[in-house]
Amino acid sequence: MPEGDENADFDDLVRDLEDSIFGLDGKGTEEQGEGKKEKKVKRRLTLPTLVDQDTANSILKDFMKEKNQRKYEVIGWELLFQPYWFFTYTCELVMRDENGNVIDSEEIGGRVAIDAVTGALADYLQDLRDHEPIELVDLSDEMGQVGGDAKVVEPKISETRLEHFVKQKISGALRADKDNVSVAGFELIWSPVYRFWLTIKKRTHNVRIDGCGGYPINYDDIPLRAKTWMDRLLDDIELLKTPKKWKDVIAKKGKEVFSRDRRTASKHEKVRSKWGLFEGVVVIVIAAAFLYALNERNLLMIIITIISAILLFWYMNSRRERPLVPLPPPPYPGAPQEPQPK
């Protein structure tokens, strides 16, 4: 065999090996009878993983703090590459009068994405691509970069029934007629997603955080816990750990005191506002004494400040539960009146 032919065969072998490993666009061969039929290998693209595991953990903590979920346990996590269908849509919104006559119309549109597994809208992804200088990368290359046990999720919504599904999704979200919706420019792109499993009150939940922009995907799935007086106390102590944040505590207390219009406030409300200002000062004094006791390692003073803080916030919480104004008199003499809460 000539030397040139040997080099050509070797180059073809290396090129085919690169295509199979990195998923680049190329040509393969498929035997059919006596000849061979060429076919293209489609390249799979993904958004890059710009959020590492430590940053994802920090985002999770902030997310749970915003939901006021203080007692939870993370029992596992994984990195997924989730598929999304990107597409462009236009919709004509028609406004009609009481008789059904068209009085006005407006055409809106844009480019959005949906989860190719669940069908949930993910408009934040296109917004991320529009406002950040992010370039798509090869999925196989990105899998090699992140390493570990990252998984690739395959799409469940096929391209054959995608157009019908997307029209229904858009028309339902905009409350428009499906015939007035048109879609085009479908593009399948993967995106990294951190999925955390955690337990809240012995119930298992999962929190998904976008691995490219750090966006909490299923924000509404985690319940919001109402704040108690103990939560407010812990928030104030957390702020007072750093002297630079003391002004935030003063501003927070001042906002609570002056939230009502003092010009129209009754005498009773003004008295309560003064007490609220006094309470804010006492909170700062107790917190400062607590931090000083910690620094000096004075166990007795630590116990005294903790007991003082608990008593103060118990009093503040019980006092705020009372109504600011007395209940109205009965509508007629002798009518029963609901007891005023104490």
pLDDT in tens, 274-304: 556 666 777 778 777 877 777 777 888 888 8
CA 72 to chain centre: 17
Residue 116 pLDDT grade (very low, low, confident, very high; cuts 50, 70, 90): very high
Write down the pLDDT at residue 155: 92
Residue 161 to residues 112, 117, 156, Cα–Cα distance (Å): 18, 13, 11
Angle between helices 299-320 and 267-296 (to 10 degrees): 160
Q: For CA atoms 239, 70, 207, 49, give the dihedral sign.
A: positive
Residues of 235-253 as b/e, b for ≥16 C-beta within 10 angstroms? ebbebbeeeeeeeebeebb
Cα–Cα distance measured from residue 48 to residue 59, given in angstroms and rounded to the nearest whole number:
18
pLDDT per residue as tens digits for the range 211-262: 999 999 988 888 888 877 777 777 766 766 666 655 665 665 556 555 544 4
Asked if the model's pLDDT at residue 109 lies above 50, the reply is yes
Asked if the model's pLDDT at residue 322 lies above 60, the reply is no
Write down the pLDDT at residue 230: 74
Cα–Cα distance measured from residue 119 to residue 133, given in angstroms and rounded to the nearest whole number:
26
Q: Do 213 and 133 form a contact (C-beta atoms < 8 A)?
A: no
Percent of the chain with pLDDT over 90: 23
Q: Do 29 and 16 form a contact (C-beta atoms < 8 A)?
A: no
Residues 6+ apart with CB under 8 A from 327: 337, 338, 340
Tokens 């505590």 -> residue: 249
Cα–Cα distance measured from residue 323 to residue 339, given in angstroms and rounded to the nearest whole number:
12
Number of H helices, E strands in the chain: 9, 9
Q: Do 79 and 211 form a contact (C-beta atoms < 8 A)?
A: yes
In 3D, which of 147, 57, 157, 174 has the Cα closest to residue 116?
Answer: 157
Cα–Cα distance measured from residue 107 to residue 95, given in angstroms and rounded to the nearest whole number:
11
Q: Do 285 and 304 form a contact (C-beta atoms < 8 A)?
A: no
pLDDT per residue as tens digits for the range 136-166: 999 999 998 887 788 999 999 888 888 888 8
In 3D, which of 218, 53, 48, 44 has the Cα closest to residue 128?
Answer: 48
Q: Do 152 and 143 form a contact (C-beta atoms < 8 A)?
A: yes
